[in-house]
């Protein structure tokens, strides 16, 4: 007997923020395109993207790419009218969990020096040399995009130790 797989999706309620893993390349491309952010490598195997929804409306996005025991955040964006409601922090928390699940012990972020650097520092990240992050993430799509398009001197790097995530202290 063949059993058809049935997708069960909770109804989305306006005003309620929900974060879901997304493989909807068209949606991701639309959101990143509207924010003038790169879509390079968004459909590469191994990447993981998460989208935030306010009801049915896409509110924000983040991606995470992993290599051995390191993970790099990418494509963090929250739509302007929905900012300052904790959606950015919730996206990073969800991406952190995704990175940990994929075996990462270090979570990295890279921002243009004039972008959201302080934002990562306020959320527990420490400054880390962008060059060493780029070396650690060799071969991952977003790292390759950065190497091809940016001067590493204009990038700021951030790191968070996630090696103890999920450890229960007694």
Burial of 69 (0-12, 13-18, 19+ CB in 10 A): middle
Options 46, 86, 103, 154; binder of ligand COA; rule CB under 6 A: 86
Query: Residues binding ligand COA: what is the number (CB under 6 A)?
Result: 16
**Per residue in 38-47, is it b (16+ CB within 10 Å) or e — as a string?**
bebbbeeeeb
Residues numbered 95 to 134 that lie near ligand COA (CB under 6 A) are 109, 111, 115-116, 118-119
Stretch that binds ligand COA, among 2-10, 15-23, 42-50, 78-86 (CB under 6 A): 78-86
Quick one: tokens of 153? 């001197």
Stretch that binds ligand COA, among 14-22, 23-31, 72-80, 139-147 (CB under 6 A): 72-80
Stretch that binds ligand COA, among 6-14, 82-90, 96-104, 125-133 (CB under 6 A): 82-90
Distance CA 152, CA 65 (A): 19
Residue pair 13/51 in contact by the 8 Å Cβ criterion: no
**In whole angstroms, how close is the CB of 167 to ligand COA at the nearest point?**
25
């Amino acid at each position: 007997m063949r059993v058809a797989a049935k997708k069960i999706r909770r109804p989305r309620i306006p005003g309620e923020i929900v974060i879901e893993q997304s493989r909807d390349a068209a949606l991701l491309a639309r959101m990143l395109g509207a924010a003038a952010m790169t879509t390079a490598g968004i459909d590469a195997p191994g990447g993981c993207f998460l989208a935030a929804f306010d009801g049915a409306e896409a509110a924000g996005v983040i991606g995470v790419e992993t290599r051995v025991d390191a993970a790099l955040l990418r494509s963090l964006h929250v739509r302007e009218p929905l900012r300052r409601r904790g959606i950015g922090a919730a996206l990073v928390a969800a991406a952190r969990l995704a990175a940990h699940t994929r075996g990462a012990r270090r979570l990295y972020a890279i921002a243009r020096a004039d972008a959201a650097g302080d934002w990562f520092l306020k959320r527990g990240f420490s400054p880390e040399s962008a060059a060493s992050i780029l070396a650690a993430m060799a071969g991952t799509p977003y790292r390759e995009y950065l190497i091809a398009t940016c001067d590493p001197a204009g990038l700021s790097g951030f790191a968070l130790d996630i090696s103890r995530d999920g450890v229960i202290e007694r």
